[in-house]
Structure 1
């Protein structure tokens, strides 16, 4: 039996990446692992 792990990082718990990870989990039966930064990004963070 093959084990599948879907590791993901999502800026928001309800973000697109988290949603797609959930879909992958439902379709493949993969275990989910959310990558969480040790230090949270500031609320006013803007990627450049």
Structure 2
């Protein structure tokens, strides 16, 4: 890895403007997904 592994796949919070619950989802970027695949393969 050439950067920090900082990624939230799911993030939810109460919106400060209107108080309703909001949730966002985002898949891993390609470089993080590739690194995770390597770690999983080595631990299998």
Question: TM-score by structure 1 length?
Answer: 0.34
- More strand by proportion, 1 or 2? 2
Question: TM-score by structure 2 length?
Answer: 0.36
- More helix by proportion, 1 or 2? 2
Larger radius of gyration: 2
